[in-house]
């Protein structure tokens, strides 16, 4: 199951970010992202495959995200690899979402590019961005990505509202959702019916 989730995450994430399609490599998936701070990324479902990347020559700022606990990954890293933020691989079947009305004083705009990438931006009455989220559809799954509420607007239900708007919009084109959550985000997603499949350990090559 975790292997399927990581494969789905790779495909949907690439759509969300407008990145090249992932290709099979090192037992997982490789995406040549080529953006500032990230030359490429590997998405792996088994910690046993990590040495297949760390034991080879890779570009600086190559990232690995593996669905495994830190204790299964970090003790055997060679020099140059550093731990970054960890996360939680989560999934849910799409369908009816809990109601999440937008807080008074805010407006939401949804932008569907037609390429599978969908974005929601929530603004305050003065036009200031308060929250945002995006998704990448790679049917039959959709990956939710970059869900963020700015500090001055937190605890007003905006993250929940953004997720609900996205979910409602994409549910006609995908049957299941995948995301990787922070510790804080995990608590929100669990209230929306998301299930944690595994931890995600993140490392970066910084020689």
Give how far the C-alpha of residue 108 lies from the chain's centroid of Cα atoms, to the nearest Å.
21
pLDDT in tens, 11-37: 999 999 999 999 999 999 999 999 999
Cis peptide before 140 (omega within 30 of 0): yes
Domain ranges in the chain are 2-88+200-205, 92-197
Contact 66, 27 (CB under 8 A): no
What contacts 24+ positions apart, CB below 8 Å, involve 49-52?
Answer: 50/76, 50/77, 50/203, 51/76, 52/26, 52/27
Contact 146, 134 (CB under 8 A): yes
Predicted TM-score of the model (pTM): 0.94
pLDDT in tens, 111-163: 998 999 999 999 999 999 999 999 999 999 999 999 999 999 999 999 999 99
Domain 92-197 has CATH 3.40.630.30: yes
Q: Which of 77, 13, 114 is nearest to 205 (CA)?
A: 77
């Amino acid at each position: 199951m975790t292997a399927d989730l990581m494969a789905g995450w790779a495909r949907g994430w690439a759509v969300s970010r407008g990145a090249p399609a992932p290709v099979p490599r090192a037992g997982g998936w490789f995406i040549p992202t080529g953006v500032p701070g990230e030359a490429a990324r590997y998405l792996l479902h088994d910690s046993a495959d990590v040495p297949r990347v760390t034991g080879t020559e890779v570009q600086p700022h190559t990232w690995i995200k593996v669905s495994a606990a830190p204790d299964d990954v970090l003790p055997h890293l060679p020099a140059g690899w550093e731990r970054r933020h960890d996360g939680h691989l989560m999934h849910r079947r799409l369908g009816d979402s809990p109601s999440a009305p937008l807080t008074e004083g805010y407006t939401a705009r949804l932008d569907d590019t037609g390429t599978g990438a969908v974005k929601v931006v929530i603004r305050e009455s003065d036009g200031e961005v308060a929250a945002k989220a995006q998704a990448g559809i790679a049917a039959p799954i959709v990956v939710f990505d970059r869900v963020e509420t700015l500090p001055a607007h937190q605890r007003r239900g905006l993250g929940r509202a953004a997720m609900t708007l996205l979910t409602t919009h994409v549910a006609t084109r995908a049957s299941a959702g995948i995301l990787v959550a922070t510790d804080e985000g995990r608590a929100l997603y669990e209230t929306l019916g998301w299930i944690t499949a595994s931890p995600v350990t993140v490392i970066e090559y910084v020689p």
